[in-house]
């Protein structure tokens, strides 16, 4: 950038400068007033656009909120039904569990006993020496 780069003046600066200097006053006053008017129109149009967009978003949010409220109401009704039926459901579960619980304990006990017997057999066989396939080198006869 060159050091002679000029900063552009804003319409407000132009208006104040125009009012300050009488020689270029009428031109700057006119340009400043027109610039301020244009900025005002642009700002108002942006405000109206934002307001319109916020209104559309708010309508969509209200519709979404109403749908969510309906869904929550339906879920709450289902939860209330489930809570009302809870004592009956728990009674059924207790009855079915009380029949199967002893059978489960018996099954677990049988499995533990079978596993223990298998482990005992494996350990006992591993501690006994295997017989040699060769004939004995010493005569096995008791002395009289």
Number of independent structural domains in the chain: 1
Listed in sequence order, the DSSP H helices in the chain are 11-20, 25-84, 86-127
Closest CA to 45 of 33, 56, 37: 37
Task: Judge whether 140 lies within some domain.
Answer: no
Higher pLDDT, 78 or 129: 78
pLDDT at 22 over 70: no
Higher pLDDT, 117 or 138: 117
Say if CB 29 and CB 16 are below 8 A apart.
no
Rg (CA), the chain: 49
Task: Judge whether 101 lies within some domain.
Answer: yes
Task: Judge whether 116 lies within some domain.
Answer: yes
Q: Which residue has the tokens 């006994």?
A: 128
Show the CA angle centred on residue 49, arms to residues 45 and 50, nearest 5°.
Answer: 120
Tell me the CA distances in angstroms from 65 to 10, 52, 71, 74, one per residue in order: 45, 20, 10, 14
Containing structural domain, residue 110:
92-125
Q: What is the pLDDT of residue 104?
A: 82
The two structure tokens encoding residue 116: 């223990």
Task: Judge whether 111 lies within some domain.
Answer: yes
Model confidence pLDDT, tens digit, residues 78-89 = 888 888 888 888
Model confidence pLDDT, tens digit, residues 24-63 = 667 777 888 888 899 999 999 999 988 888 888 888 888 8
pLDDT at 142 over 80: no
**Distance between CA atoms of residues 90 and 54, nearest Å:** 51
**Distance between CA atoms of residues 15 and 131, nearest Å:** 120
**Distance between CA atoms of residues 114 and 122, nearest Å:** 12
Task: Judge whether 60 lies within some domain.
Answer: no
């Amino acid at each position: 950038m060159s050091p002679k780069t000029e900063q552009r003046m804003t319409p407000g600066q132009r208006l104040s400068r125009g009012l300050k200097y009488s020689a270029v006053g009428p031109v700057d006053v006119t340009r400043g007033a027109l610039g301020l008017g244009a900025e005002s129109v642009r700002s108002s149009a942006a405000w109206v656009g934002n307001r319109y967009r916020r209104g559309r978003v708010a309508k969509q949010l209200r519709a979404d909120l109403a749908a969510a409220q309906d869904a929550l109401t339906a879920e709450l009704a289902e939860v209330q039904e489930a809570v009302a039926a809870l004592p009956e459901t728990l009674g059924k579960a207790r009855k079915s569990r009380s029949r199967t619980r002893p059978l489960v304990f018996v099954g677990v006990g049988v499995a533990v006993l079978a596993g223990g017997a298998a482990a005992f057999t494996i350990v006992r066989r591993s501690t006994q020496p295997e017989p040699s396939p060769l004939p004995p080198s010493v005569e096995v006869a008791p002395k009289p």
